[in-house]
Amino acid sequence: MNIMLVSVTERTKEIGLRMAVGARPQDIMRQFLLEAVLLCVVGGALGILLGKAISTVVSRTMNWATASSPEAMVLAVGVSVLIGLVFGWYPSWKASKMDPIDALRHE
């Protein structure tokens, strides 16, 4: 959530410009929610790939049996999406409530 709040703060002028040219609050909210969900999905997918790679290395070097379940991978991505929605909602709501004039004046 902190990363998304910083992103909203850093992009205040962009948000103000988009609102000044006609973007509705729900458009701004959708943009930031989508960004938060995509960040979480990419992070979750990279975590799955890294876990699978480490599992393969451990299996080959130490002769340990390892297994990965597709259900667990889907659940992990699902939890990542949920985290993106939950922790991306407030920053996106905050961005959608900005006054375009104040946002354009922001330095």
Q: Domain locations in the chain?
A: 37-96
In a structure prediction context, what are the per-residue pLDDT tens digits for the chain, which is 107 residues long? 888 888 888 999 999 999 999 999 999 999 999 999 999 999 999 999 999 999 999 999 999 988 889 999 999 999 999 998 999 899 999 999 999 988 888 87
pLDDT of residue 4: 84
Angle at 12 between CA 14 and CA 46, to 5 degrees: 80
Q: At what angle do helices 12-20 and 25-62 cross, to 10 degrees?
A: 140
User: For residue 105, what pLDDT is reported?
Assistant: 87
pLDDT at 29: 93
Q: What pLDDT was estimated at residue 9?
A: 87
At residue 59, the pLDDT reads 93
pLDDT on residue 3: 84
Provide the Cα torsion 13, 15, 17, 23; round to 10°. Answer: 180
Q: How far is CA 62 from CA 55, 65, 97, in A?
A: 10, 9, 55
Q: What is the rounded distance in angstroms from the CA atom of residue 41 to the CA atom of residue 47?
A: 10
